[in-house]
Amino acid sequence: MKQLSPVDSIFVYNEQPHAPLHISPIMIYDPRTSEKGAVSFQDVLQTFRSRLQLSPVFRRKLVKVPFNLDNPYWVEDKGFDLEFHVRQLALPKPGDLRQLNTLLARLHSRPLDLNRPPWEAYVIEGLDNIEGFPSGCFAMYLKIHHSAIDGATGNQIIEALHDLTVVPGNFRKEDKWQAEEDPGQLALLGQSYVNLLKQPSKIFNLLKNSVRSISLPADIGQKMHEMEDHGIRELTRFNQKVSPHRVFGAMHMELDRLKAIKNVVGSCTLNDVVLAIVSGGLRHYLIDKDELPETSLIAGVPMSTRAPDNVDAKGGNSVSGMRVSLRTDIADPVNRLIMINADAVASKMYANAVGAQILVDIAESIPSSVAALGMRIMAATGLGSRNPWIHTVVTNVPGPQAPIYMCGAKGLLWLGAGPLLDGMGLFNTINSYNGIVNIAFISDRSMMPDPEFYTECIKRSFHDLESAVSRPLAAVKPKAARKRIIGKTTARKSTGKKATAKKPTTTRAKVS
């Protein structure tokens, strides 16, 4: 039995029927590369069965403490049933991309059964009519509760289920797993009392780290002056209470083309380039609806806080986050990228210096009963949708740059899908795999009734940026760019009043 960390517990407390908190790797495979030229559902099931010992996530379930007086526990499930978790589906004819996206959106909208190990895998067959993929492909949609994994540990689970060669590996590692009895309520309450006695030391650590952060190094203090104002002054259609219904879409780009953009602009990273592409896509989408805010949209960007000597840890979350201005108020794609880079550099330096450890200490210093009550109050009052801290999430989860195989079937595409929250109805996931970068998104169906159009907007943004960097560019440093770009944005001076989100509309313009 192992207790969840305070950060992991937050995802349990914040789970809502209309806003489940699971994350989902999605892969598409070509079975023709396998030894038999085909892969059956039983082959996939056997792969899972032979590799359960490679991650503790597969066979442990959540047990909550009565009245949420303490963080929940992981207990090895004596009733574990693999065939409940691994399931088989098939698309009807013609088996096209629209059908696949619709199915993925429906699967993602359904909460996991938290009385069982919180994960499910769906083998989806019948992908016979998707452009760019051979007929007979199949997909695997794997959803795991966010309390069990973050992006990094999710990748480790994917890698555990796959091979680097067509011939599957033979895992002879002894399976030492043992089932556990569920703990009694009195035992859980007794342990919560012991943990409560440790609370003063946690608060002391919080104060110690907070005092330490008051005196920032000079270079970080200078960078803080270059940070954008990350306050949310205007809301969008994505910053309302979410419904239980989802839409899904994705597009892909060659990694080398993104590197070419990065190399031309200079100081920018690949992550900055992707942020600029998402920013441009949002800008095109909201302009079409006549809903583009005058001030820039703000993205939440998760950051791994996993220590270098802890890269092999399996399960749990080691994440923090920072807010980055997407500069959707800037029309020129290159100028937008330069400004995103300047803000990302300043935000990341500050987050690395003081943010990660303080956030962990804050989470650990709040009694579980208070945290759980706070989550319920936020859900009941709609506080999260009325006072969002960000407009959207953009998370980057790098994957392997060599092919991986499931039962000998070559992985062709690697996508991801994240959770939605009240007040945050658009989640963009970036996955890189085998020379391809994929941008996938999950949104609320009432907020985004036209996901195909948003996909086209992201594609248009990519082409806009690629075309813009092909023009001769002077070497411009971000600080100088900031001064030069001032006054060239499309935004008017903000009134400082927080606007309400406009009601979603369904009109759209054509995108070439």
**Look-up: residue for tokens 């517990």?**
9
Kindly give the confidence (pLDDT) of every residue in the chain, 512 residues in length, as a single tens digit, with 9 standing for 90 and above: 998 988 888 899 889 999 999 999 999 999 999 999 999 999 999 999 999 999 999 999 999 998 877 889 999 999 999 999 999 999 999 999 999 999 999 999 999 999 999 999 999 999 999 999 999 999 999 999 999 987 667 777 888 899 999 998 776 677 889 999 999 888 887 777 666 656 555 544 444 444 444 444 555 445 544 556 677 889 999 999 999 999 999 999 999 999 999 999 878 999 999 999 999 999 999 999 999 999 999 999 987 655 555 544 456 555 557 899 999 999 999 999 999 999 888 766 545 544 444 444 444 545 544 454 454 445 554 555 566 889 999 999 888 999 999 999 999 999 999 999 999 999 999 999 999 999 999 999 999 999 999 999 999 999 999 999 987 654 444 444 444 443 344 443 333 445 556 666 544 444 43
Strand partners, 81: none
Closest-CA residue to 156 (of 437, 474, 404): 404
29 and 39 in contact (C-beta within 8 Å)? yes
Per DSSP, the residues of 8-57 read HHHHHHT-BTTB--EEEEEEEEEGGGSTTS---HHHHHHHHHHTGGG-GG
Eight-class DSSP state of 75: E
Token pair for 81: 């049933």
pLDDT of residue 475: 42
β-strand 392-398 against 298-304: which pairing, if any?
Answer: parallel
Per DSSP, the residues of 441-494 read EEEETTT-S-HHHHHHHHHHHHHHHHHHHTS------HHHHHHHHTT-SSPPPP
pLDDT of residue 456: 98
Active centre residues (catalytic)? 146
pLDDT of residue 165: 93
pTM for the whole thing?
Answer: 0.84
Distance CA 278, CA 249 (A): 13
Distance CA 163, CA 169 (A): 7
Closest-CA residue to 76 (of 63, 65, 87, 86): 63
Give every CB contact of residue 463 below 8 A, 6+ residues apart in sequence: none
Cis preceding-peptide flag for 94 (omega within 30 of 0): yes
pLDDT of residue 220: 47
Q: Where are the domains of the chain?
A: 2-173+182-192
pLDDT of residue 470: 84
* CATH superfamily entry for domain 2-173+182-192: Chloramphenicol acetyltransferase-like domain (3.30.559.10)
Distance CA 1, CA 184 (A): 12
- What's the gap between Cα 269 and its chain centre? 19
